[in-house]
Amino acid sequence: MSLEKLYQKIILDYASDKANKREIPDATAVERGHNSSCGDDITIVLKVKDNVIDDISFLGNGCAISTASTNMMIELTRGKSMEEAKVIVKTFFDMMAGKDVSEEELERLGDAQILEFVSTMPARIKCATLSWHSLKVLIVDH
């Protein structure tokens, strides 16, 4: 299996995971992200308690890359403090921008590391970063 095929399989696995697509009844903040070039429309729902991401989910629909990226982000940041989440989001954007990111920092991104290969496809970068922009806004507003 080529690396690209493997990446595609991982992305499709994450994209088909529906566990994080749900309402959070006592959510503390929401941020909608819309990518008009692809049609992705994903809202990030957040519940922050004692400065920790107590729960995070999404609503809406997007393509395989945006949905997979959203699920990866949700699984990486749930249970993390806002400070930790901020570092993860920054590392992700650094990676997507092609900046130097150390192996140790990349490790923090878990499976989201594979989205780096999307950064070579300009038309799909917006798909991969959509929900991360939303979370960044939520962290800054917090």
User: With binding defined as CB under 5 A, does residue 66 bind Zn ion?
Assistant: yes
In this structure, which amino acid lies at residue 30? V
Q: Is 127 in the site for Zn ion (CB under 5 A)?
A: yes
CA atoms within 13 Å, Cβ hemisphere of 22: 11
Q: How far apart are CA 24 and CA 70, in angstroms?
A: 16
Contacts of 110 (CB under 8 A, 6+ apart): 72, 75, 76
Stretch that binds Zn ion, among 15-23, 57-65, 88-96, 108-116 (CB under 5 A): 57-65
The least distance separating Zn ion from the CB of residue 131, rounded to whole angstroms, comes to: 11
Q: How far is the CB of 57 from Zn ion (least distance, A)?
A: 19
- SS3 label, residue 24: coil
Pick the stretch among 1-9, 12-20, 26-34, 66-74 that binds Zn ion (CB under 5 A).
66-74
Q: Which of 10, 7, 6 is nearest to 117 (CA)?
A: 7
Strand partners, 44: 31, 58
Compare residues 48 and 96 and give the one whose CB is closer to Zn ion: 96
Q: Does 67 bind Zn ion (CB under 5 A)?
A: no
| Binding residue for Zn ion, selected from 15, 31, 40, 58, defined by CB under 5 A | 40
Min dist. Cβ of residue 114 to Zn ion (A): 16
Angle CA(64)–CA(68)–CA(71) in degrees, nearest 5? Answer: 145
Q: Taking contact as CB under 5 A, which single stretch among the options 32-40, 53-61, 100-108, 110-118 is the one that binds Zn ion?
A: 32-40
Positions in the binding site for Zn ion (CB under 5 A):
38, 40, 63, 66, 127
